[in-house]
Structure 1
Amino acid sequence: MSEVVQCYDQLASNLSLMAALARAKEWDRLPELEVQCVSVLERLSVVSPQETLAPAQVAQARRLLERIRADQRAVCELVKPQLAHLVATMAGLQKRSELDRAYGAPR
């Protein structure tokens, strides 16, 4: 298997796992996998220009890319509400802190 296809395969595996973890609301494991994806993408940017793929490998890479995109969309759809909730919670805490400072509430 070409290194380019191996990179796409690793990305597909990581994003599939990320989607499963997001569905299970196991948010703490996502950052580690995201770091791994970045590493694979960096490697892909190095090896991709150096490697010519056979037609079968191009087809395999396209199939993997479709999986990657689908799982990436799923992860985004699952993470966005969590981020919105986190931002709202942080805004509430900031507002409370400002009120405490304004009215001299003990810390």
Structure 2
Amino acid sequence: MAARSEIVHCYLQLASTTSLMAAQARAKEWDRLPALEEQCATVVERLKQIRATEPLDPAELDQAQRLMARIRADQDEVRRLVKPQLERLVATMARLQKQGELDKAYGLAR
């Protein structure tokens, strides 16, 4: 595959995966996000390795720019949906740590 078309192909893969991540986040399917994030990381690494021998033609550049805008929008949505979950997780962990410290202080630790 020519480097130019492979670049567009990678952006198509990223757009598809980030769209799926947003859908999974909306459905609160949190356990599915890490595997999708790993897929994105693999594609991003591939993009870093590709050395285009010639610039994208105007149609490819336009398509890549539209895909990047879609990817950013989906990433923003995922972050917006995941952030409250992470905050709850951190609060729960802090509460459990505090409880453990109290149990230990009062000799209730196991």
1:35-54 superposed matches below 5 A: 35-54=38-57
Residues in 2 aligned to 1:15 and 1:104: alpha-carbon distance in whole angstroms: 49
* 1:67 match: 70
Match of 1:11 in 2: 14
Q: Are 1:99 and 2:102 an aligned pair?
A: yes
The total of aligned residue pairs comes to 107
* Normalised TM-score (structure 1): 0.95
In structure 2, stretches of 5+ residues that fail to align are none
Distance 1:4 1:27 in 2: 29
Q: Could you list the runs of 5+ residues in structure 1 that have no partner in the other structure?
A: none
Q: 2:100–2:109: 8 Å Cα contact kept in structure 1?
A: no
1:32 aligned to 2:32? no
Structure holding more helix per residue: 1
Distance 1:51 1:76, change over 3 A: farther
Report how far residue 52 of structure 1 moved.
Answer: 2.3
CA RMSD, aligned part only?
Answer: 1.3
Aligned counterpart, 1:83: 86
Runs of 4+ in 1 over 2 A off after TM superposition: 48-52
**Identity rate of aligned residues, in percent?**
64
Classify 1:80/1:48 alpha carbon distance in 2 versus 1 (closer, same or farther; 3 Å). Answer: farther
**Distance across 2 between alignment mates of 1:104 and 1:50:** 68
Give the 3 Å change call, closer, same or farther, for CA 48–26 of structure 1 in structure 2. Answer: farther
